């Protein structure tokens, strides 16, 4: 799964979450189910070669925590 907005580094993503910005996820494959609450694997940036991977916690479709 990917994040929106498209952060170039995991550190940028963590800073955005810490600052309270709205960050959501999306799945590029339309055959997979929607975005559940709970824990998911994310990767970025897109559509480039991935430079970072993380585990994110979702609540109401928003990322609340990144590991």
Q: Provide the domain limits for residue 17.
A: 2-66
For residue 50, the Cα-to-chain-centroid distance in whole angstroms is 13
CB 50 within 8 A of CB 43: yes
- Whole-angstrom Cα distance, residue 54 to residue 27? 15
- Whole-angstrom Cα distance, residue 38 to residue 59? 7
For residue 7, the SS3 value is coil
Give the per-residue pLDDT at 36.
76
Give the per-residue pLDDT at 62.
93
Give the per-residue pLDDT at 28.
79
Give the model confidence (pLDDT) of 16-64 as tens digits.
999 999 999 988 777 777 677 899 999 999 988 999 999 999 998 899 9
Instruction: Check whether 65 has a pLDDT greater than 90.
Output: yes
- Whole-angstrom Cα distance, residue 46 to residue 5? 10
Give the per-residue pLDDT at 52.
96
The average pLDDT across 2-21 equals 96
- The number of distinct structural domains making up the chain is 1
- Whole-angstrom Cα distance, residue 27 to residue 16? 20
């Amino acid at each position: 799964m990917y994040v929106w907005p498209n952060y170039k580094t995991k550190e940028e993503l963590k800073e955005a979450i810490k600052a309270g910005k709205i960050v959501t996820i999306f799945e590029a494959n339309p055959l997979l189910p929607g975005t559940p609450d709970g824990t998911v694997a994310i990767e970025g940036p897109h559509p480039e070669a991935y430079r970072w991977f993380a585990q994110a916690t979702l609540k109401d479709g928003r990322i609340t925590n990144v590991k």
